């Protein structure tokens, strides 16, 4: 068996080492266009920022290690230029010498990754405009920073864009973030993003939403980004984080099936339309585990898993890729945002029925110092309660709760299962009723009909909310005075039983508190007393998130920059 | 409906508030012997230690709040003395006035909790000997510490004992920990405990294992604990943490069914043998979710859940308690220990078949600073791979991994499911191959026959291991020289292919590395080359844990104390 692998980073490297573990006898050749194999993509921004101080920490495995330990024939700076499928060989260019040669294969694995998009704008090739994908890219950006760049523009507020912003700020650089969409971190639903904007503001980052670059031009002090609005943003340094494009050119030229978004089509064994050719990682289209739709998820975990599965199948094992859930996490300064499964956006786009609830619990017991709050949004099927997706923003403990929910989705669990979860509780780590139990109680109670709810976006969308329903704030007068929903009337929960006479009996009541619990208690009480009451999911905290997400961003688009 | 609840802390409080949410009309009476309801049991040690500075933080809910918010008739300092089942009433003593009276019920919930065991030893009633269960206990211990206690003995190295030790040390008290068993934290398997002993040593705590107190006597400086060995331990303060006993006296006197360990017998709706009487919390016997055996788990999470279920059932809902997994966690200085499901001890006691593997991964990506190691032990069924239990010791991220495995057990998942888990990865939070994936790979590979293994305890138990098998250390010479298993021969993994001639072909090979991965690679290689090789699960790290767990404890029992 001669196995040839194109690409030596996450998916390719995993496939190669797995193949060797399965067969001492196989010939395994890896072609990698760059100088490095298996480097730590996800660490690159932190080397620029200085949290990772040693460059060689980023080299997870060196070509030498691959040779010595796994007896892999690793050829770096070697670009595969074409696949000759009938002859089962690839054409390779040795980038060092310029020499071209053919290499035959029995089985071929394509792991070319994805390329950062460089939009064809005027001036895009000016010095100082970078993308961040490779160690070379990292070195170039770090060199620019080390040379004393003082102003930067980051274009694109996705995962990489946000990580780059954090790390540039850590280096003391005055940074502006430009995003085409009207929110940062487009994969999550918008109401989860105000805490990110808040972090940006606290760290002096200007965020320009709903805008894109129109071009780049030289400037006295380096270059300038010209926005569609006409604004000019001078910068010593521009980092593009506007997405990636699957590296499909080899596959396209070889006539392999390609999906509508450009990803290489594979079956559950990671086989392309040519059964002797497999493809893995950021270049392929896979199945979304929750929605069943084709999707592309440029993440390291799935890439590694897919590489392993391709190698398994080549060596006669029936391993199958079960699809991706899109589980992802990013830390932005002091806030962490994580997601798994489908977002509300995705469910709406696919017109899938869903319900959603919001809770705002603390990471751990409130009586123990240092409890950090989080906002957890859960999406689930209306009929069965099956969990469809979750998003969390907050501090410590966000990663734990998203992982618990990722496993619950994998297991096909329902919101009723969340009620039952027996999680580890000591005051440093959680609560006797963990945030996961809490969101289970809320969602299950909704499905059981215990407490009808209104979501804050429904309230904000409804033009006649104030007209048709009576808005009841059951918090303390102090909380009410510190801020409340317009037209709300305040009756604290603990006085509610004795003040029922103040409530209208001929109109629906929309009840809320700070985070949802007291509103729920009030709703239960009122419904038993004959009122048509519903609770705002997540209370005033949810309302403020939606309200902030809808407000024009604090730094208005088009305002002349003081940078 | 008139519901009477005996006990107003975790289970009783949850039952009461749930009952009110389900019925505005019910009369709900709570009798609590102590002065407080719903206090934070799990926070008590940290108030003594000073991490929790405000006493009122420990009062989760006050009696007043129960009255105002939930319209509960809360009667503190009220002891229920007897149940008259035919008449459906309880006899209550008002501890403030000494007055006795009857209170009728339609349904009764017993949530009396468990009492700390005070062994009937000579001198047990001397001043300065405490248990820690209530706020009163806490106040007494804290007062003793505040008065300037300088030496303490803690008897019992379970959860509470360890937490008390940490907090006494935090207050600068010279502390000795005495434990009857030959290990600390008896609920976990012994090889997981050396890191706890290490923490004790680093913080100056003397640990005396395999010893118990024989009695207490007055001493010039306070009192002294007399051990069975004859040693005397002088102390200003003794805290007993030798376990709890279900408070079953009411139930016994009322003729309700009691389990062999003293817990009140209940069905899945938390009903006792009298269908009008329910019991919840530390006083009951429940089903172990994994083993199916009756068990008693004095934990806050299950107590809360059971209270909710009892209230549900009383008000016509079919909620069922699915049993407990015994998920628990404790932080001891800088180390965290957590467990879920069955331990190896339990599986051995019940003679259940199992396999086990060990991994020693880092919390997060090694290239990002601050990665803390952990040891993860996984127990699973030999045939199906169904997960039976897990134990983890380490630093950051232990709580996350135990919760993931707790959910996996709840879902009935197998080790093959762990391979597939798509968990949130960014360098601060995990790795592209998370510790959970890693342990899944190891366990699944074992079941698939990819790599036979030897566990370090098998090696240590086997008298002829060195005689019959060839012990091969595949680490670097530097690692080998820093410490290795006796009689091992060192051939670094990266040289193995060229040095196969140095290996015997007529004897089994037992291979190991530092944590298991290189040993696995070597095992795969050697088996494909025709050798009968097996890998030591978790490598030298596992070996050292077992070796340390078997060594006589560093502070020998019976050595005269310098305290």
Q: Can you give the three-state secondary structure of B445-507, one letter per residue?
A: HHHHCCCCEECHHHHHHCCCHHHHCEEEECCCHHHHHCCCCCCCEECCHHHHHHHHHHCCCCC
Any idea which residue has 């690839």 for tokens? A90
Residue B557 pLDDT > 50: no
Torsion of CA A336, A340, A346, A350, to 10 degrees: -170
The one catalytic residue among A22, A42, A121, A489: A42
- Beta strands across the sheet bearing B232-235: B213-219, B222-227, B232-235
| Cβ proximity of A488 and A472 under 8 Å | yes
pLDDT tens by residue, A489-536:
999 999 999 999 999 999 999 999 999 999 999 999 999 999 999 999
Whole-complex ipTM? 0.95
pLDDT of residue A467: 58
Burial profile A439-469: b = 16 or more Cβ within 10 angstroms, e = fewer: bbbbbbbbbeebbebbbbbebeeeeebeeeb
Residue A463 pLDDT > 80: no
pLDDT of residue A510: 96
pLDDT of residue B221: 77
Tokens standing for B514? 């530092």
Residue B556 pLDDT > 60: no
CA of B61: which chain A residue's CA is closest? A367
Residue A475 pLDDT > 80: yes
Contact yes or no for A42 and B427 at CB 8 A: yes
Please give, rounded to a whole number of angstroms, the shortest distance from the CA of B333 to a CA of chain A: 12
- Give the least confident one: A281-295, B29-43, B160-174, B490-504: B29-43
Main-chain dihedrals φ then ψ at residue A121, nearest 5 degrees = -100, 155
Any idea which residue has 């196995």 for tokens? A3
Beta pairing class for A89-94 and A100-104: antiparallel
Contact yes or no for B330 and A426 at CB 8 A: yes
pLDDT tens by residue, A142-164:
999 999 999 999 999 999 999 99
| Cβ proximity of B73 and B27 under 8 Å | yes
- Give the least confident one: A345-354, A553-562, B275-284: A553-562
- HEC string for A462-483: CCCHHHHCEEEECCCHHHHHCC
Confidence of residue A464 (pLDDT cuts 50, 70, 90): low
CA atoms within 13 A on the CB side of B201: 10
pLDDT of residue B467: 58
Contact yes or no for B408 and A411 at CB 8 A: yes
d(CA B561, CA B41): 33
Secondary structure of residue A540 in the 3-state scheme = helix
Confidence of residue B553 (pLDDT cuts 50, 70, 90): low
Average pLDDT over residues A213-242: 94
pLDDT tens by residue, B136-182:
999 999 999 999 999 999 999 999 999 999 999 999 999 999 999 99
pLDDT of residue A102: 98
| Cβ proximity of A158 and A299 under 8 Å | no
Confidence of residue B464 (pLDDT cuts 50, 70, 90): low
Average pLDDT over residues A88-99: 97
Residue A561 pLDDT > 60: no
| Cβ proximity of B76 and B94 under 8 Å | no
Secondary structure of residue B167 in the 3-state scheme = helix
pLDDT tens by residue, A260-319:
989 999 999 999 999 999 999 999 999 999 999 999 888 888 999 999 999 999 999 999
CA atoms within 13 A on the CB side of B193: 21
Average pLDDT over residues B447-451: 94
Please give, rounded to a whole number of angstroms, the shortest distance from the CA of A433 to a CA of chain B: 6
Please give, rounded to a whole number of angstroms, the shortest distance from the CA of B423 to a CA of chain A: 5
- Which of A363, A369, A514 is CA-nearest to residue A431? A363
Average pLDDT over residues B380-403: 97
pLDDT tens by residue, B205-215:
999 999 999 99
pLDDT tens by residue, A338-392:
999 999 999 999 999 999 999 999 998 888 988 999 999 999 999 999 999 999 9
pLDDT tens by residue, B4-20:
999 998 899 999 999 99
> Which residues on neighbouring strands pair with residue B347, listed in sequence order?
none
Chain A from 352 to 371: CB within 8 A of any B CB: 365-369
C-alpha separations of B25 from A445, A446, B19 in Å: 20, 22, 10
Q: Rounded to the nearest 10 degrees, what angle do helices A300-314 and A10-22 cross at?
A: 30
Confidence of residue A563 (pLDDT cuts 50, 70, 90): very low
| Cβ proximity of A18 and A9 under 8 Å | no
Confidence of residue B560 (pLDDT cuts 50, 70, 90): very low
- Which of A249, A207, A199 is CA-nearest to residue A227? A207
Residue B486 pLDDT > 70: yes
d(CA B119, CA B399): 34
Chain A residues within an 8 Å CB radius of B497? 71
CA of A528: which chain B residue's CA is closest? B24
Is residue B243 exposed (0-12), middle (13-18) or buried (19+ Cβ within 10 Å)? middle
| Cβ proximity of B256 and B85 under 8 Å | no
Contact yes or no for B365 and A301 at CB 8 A: no
- State chain A's mean pLDDT as an integer: 94
Confidence of residue B376 (pLDDT cuts 50, 70, 90): very high
- Percentage of residues of chain A with pLDDT beyond 90: 88
pLDDT of residue A560: 35
The one catalytic residue among B42, B52, B115, B500: B42
Residues 6+ apart with CB under 8 A from A94: A75, A77, A78, A100, A101
Residue B513 designated active-site: no
Q: Using the 8-state DSSP alphabet, how is residue A321 labeled?
A: -
| Cβ proximity of A374 and A326 under 8 Å | no
Tokens standing for B394? 């380490």
**Better-predicted residue by pLDDT, A561 or A194:** A194
- Percentage of residues of chain B with pLDDT beyond 70: 97
Residue of B287, B335, B412, B426 to mutate, interface with A, max A Cβ within 10 Å = B426
Residue A466 pLDDT > 70: no
| Cβ proximity of A390 and A377 under 8 Å | yes
Chain A residues within an 8 Å CB radius of B68? 494
Domains of chain A, earliest start first: 2-115+245-314 (3.50.50.60), 129-242 (3.50.50.60), 334-447 (3.50.50.60), 453-550 (3.40.250.10)
- State chain B's mean pLDDT as an integer: 94
Q: Using the 8-state DSSP alphabet, how is residue A180 labeled?
A: S
Does B304 reach chain A within 8 Å, measured CB to CB? yes
Residue A556 pLDDT > 60: no
Does A127 reach chain B within 8 Å, measured CB to CB? no
What would you report as the CA-atom Rg of chain B, rounded to the nearest whole angstrom? Answer: 27
| Cβ proximity of A261 and A176 under 8 Å | no
> Which residues on neighbouring strands pair with residue B543, listed in sequence order?
none
Does A493 reach chain B within 8 Å, measured CB to CB? yes
- Which of A32, A44, A111, A160 is CA-nearest to residue A302? A111
Please give, rounded to a whole number of angstroms, the shortest distance from the CA of B135 to a CA of chain A: 14
Secondary structure of residue B250 in the 3-state scheme = helix
Chain B residues within an 8 Å CB radius of A340? 422, 424
| Cβ proximity of B209 and B182 under 8 Å | yes
Average pLDDT over residues A44-66: 91
Chain A from 205 to 224: CB within 8 A of any B CB: none
Tokens standing for B456? 């370090």
d(CA B446, CA B538): 13
Tokens standing for A119? 């939009």
Contact yes or no for B24 and A426 at CB 8 A: no
**Residue A231 C-alpha from the chain's centroid:** 29
Does A329 reach chain B within 8 Å, measured CB to CB? yes
- Nearest residue, CB atoms, B426 vs list A330, A413, A494: A330
Any idea which residue has 């305002």 for tokens? A559
Q: Which long-range contacts (CB under 8 A, 24 or more apart) does A547-551 make?
A: A547/A456, A547/A460, A548/A194, A548/A197, A549/A183, A549/A190, A549/A191, A549/A193, A549/A194, A550/A460
- Which of B197, B332, B165, B371 is CA-nearest to residue A428? B332
| Cβ proximity of A401 and A374 under 8 Å | yes
What is the count of residue pairs from A and B with beta carbons less than 8 Å apart?
223
| Cβ proximity of B283 and B246 under 8 Å | yes
- Percentage of residues of chain A with pLDDT beyond 70: 97
d(CA B163, CA B141): 13
Tokens standing for B115? 């009492």
Does B396 reach chain A within 8 Å, measured CB to CB? no
pLDDT of residue A36: 85
């Amino acid at each position: 068996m001669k196995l040839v692998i194109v690409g030596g980073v996450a998916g390719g490297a995993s496939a190669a080492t797995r193949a060797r573990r399965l067969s001492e006898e196989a010939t395994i050749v890896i072609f990698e266009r760059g100088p490095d194999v298996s480097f730590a993509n996800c660490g690159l921004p932190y080397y620029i920022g200085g949290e990772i101080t040693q460059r060689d920490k980023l080299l997870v495995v060196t070509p030498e290690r691959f040779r010595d330990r796994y007896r892999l024939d690793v050829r770096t700076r070697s670009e595969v230029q074409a696949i000759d499928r009938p002859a089962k060989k690839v054409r390779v260019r040795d980038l060092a010498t310029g020499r071209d040669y053919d290499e035959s294969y029995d089985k071929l694995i394509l792991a070319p990754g994805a390329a950062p998009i460089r939009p064809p704008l005027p001036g895009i090739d000016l010095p100082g405009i970078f993308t961040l994908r490779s160690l070379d890219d990292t070195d170039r950006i770090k060199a620019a920073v080390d040379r004393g760049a003082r102003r930067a523009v980051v274009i694109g507020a996705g995962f990489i864009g946000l990580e780059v912003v954090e790390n540039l700020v850590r280096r003391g650089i005055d940074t502006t973030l430009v995003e085409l969409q009207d929110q940062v971190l487009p994969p999550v639903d918008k109401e989860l993003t105000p805490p990110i904007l808040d972090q940006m503001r606290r760290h002096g980052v200007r965020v320009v939403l709903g805008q894109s670059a129109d071009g780049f031009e030289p400037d006295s002090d380096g270059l300038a980004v010209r926005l569609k609005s006409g604004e000019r943003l001078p910068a010593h340094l521009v980092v593009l984080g506007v997405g990636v494009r699957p590296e499909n050119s080899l596959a396209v030229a070889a006539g392999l099936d390609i999906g509508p978004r450009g990803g290489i089509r594979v079956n559950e064994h990671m086989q392309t339309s040519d059964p002797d050719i497999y493809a893995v990682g950021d270049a392929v289209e896979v199945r979304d585990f929750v929605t069943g739709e084709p999707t592309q998820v440029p993440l390291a975990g799935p890439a590694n898993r897919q590489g392993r599965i391709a190698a398994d199948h080549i060596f006669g094992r029936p391993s199958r890729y079960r699809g991706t859930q899109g589980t992802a996490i990013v830390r932005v300064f002091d806030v962490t945002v994580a997601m798994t499964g489908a977002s509300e956006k995705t469910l709406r786009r696919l017109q899938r029925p869903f319900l959603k609830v919001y809770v705002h619990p603390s990471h751990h017991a409130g009586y123990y110092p240092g409890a950090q709050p989080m906002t957890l949004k859960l999406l689930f099927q209306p009929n069965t309660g099956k969990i469809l997706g979750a998003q969390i923003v907050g501090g410590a403990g966000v990663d734990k709760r998203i992982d618990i929910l990722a496993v619950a989705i994998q297991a096909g669990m329902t919101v009723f299962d969340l009620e039952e979860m027996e999680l580890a509780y000591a005051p440093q780590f959680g609560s006797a009723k963990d945030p996961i139990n809490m969101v289970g109680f809320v969602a299950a109670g909704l499905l059981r009909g215990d407490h009808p709810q209104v979501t804050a976006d429904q309230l904000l969308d409804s033009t006649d909310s104030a007209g048709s329903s009576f808005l009841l704030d059951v918090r303390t007068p102090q909380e009410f005075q510190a801020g409340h929903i317009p037209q709300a009337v305040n009756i604290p929960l603990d006085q509610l039983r004795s003040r029922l006479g103040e409530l209208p009996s001929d109109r629906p009541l929309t009840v809320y508190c700070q985070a949802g619990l007291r509103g729920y208690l009030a709703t239960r009480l009122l419904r038993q007393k004959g009122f048509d009451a519903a609770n705002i999911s997540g209370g005033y905290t949810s309302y403020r998130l939606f309200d902030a997400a809808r407000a024009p961003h604090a730094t208005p688009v088009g305002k002349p920059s003081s940078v």
